[in-house]
Amino acid sequence: MNSDFPRILSLLRKERHISQKAAAADLGVAQALLSHYEKGKRECGLDFLVRVADYYGVTTDYLLGRSASTTGNIITENDIPDLSTGQEKTRAGADISLTMSKKLVVNSIDVIYSLLAKIGNNRFSLAIINMLNLTVYKVFRIVFRSNKGNTQNMFEIADERACHYADAQIHIDEAEAASLLKNSSLENPEISTVVIEAEFPRQSAALLSLIKTSEAQIKKQISEK
């Protein structure tokens, strides 16, 4: 059974604010059966798969988790805008394209900053920005270690402490953001695949691809335990 289909089937219905009863009627199945499909208790046939694709205006590749885009496009480097001016040199035969990876990260962060502007809460934005800054700081220090001859005088904080304290501060900022979401009346913009693709047509491919790639890595770790 395809593990992505139940989640995406439920996601599409909820993102479009359609009740399960209404969706079942439109798709010509009993609500109980649709519920089983959404929970992964039953596997649907090809005819239902095609009906769902037509109903929600997406491709079967998206429904089956083969594409991060609702259009089913396979995302390539040329599909993602280059928002930076840096240049990378990749070694022949490298497993990961540095240029592609950079585009995914830069475009995804651009979407995050746009969403922070919509939310419009300084404390919440500061917590998220601190998390991003500290993550970049930590990663840079790890890369810095690639040459043992690099002088530590570049930093004020000793290497054996820096990354651990950065992790601690990231957790503090994450807790601050979570507290604000729970207790504060923030502006809450709707965030969904549909909204992201509509409002960020150039950057959405990068963000959705980054999400898919990251979750694939997490799922692999979970399955190996």
Question: Is the predicted pLDDT of residue 90 greater than 50, yes or no?
Answer: no
Question: Is the predicted pLDDT of residue 74 greater than 70, yes or no?
Answer: no
pLDDT at residue 53, rounded to an integer: 95
What DSSP string runs through 182-212?
HHS--------HHHHHHH-TTTHHHHHHHHH
**Tens of pLDDT along 155-175?**
989 888 899 999 999 999 999
> Considering the chain, what is the average pLDDT of its residues?
87
Question: Is the predicted pLDDT of residue 86 greater than 60, yes or no?
Answer: no
What average pLDDT does this structure show over 6-34?
Answer: 94
What DSSP string runs through 17-57?
T--HHHHHHHHTS-HHHHHHHHHTSS---HHHHHHHHHHHT
The secondary structure of residue 145, as a DSSP letter, is T
How much is the pTM? 0.76
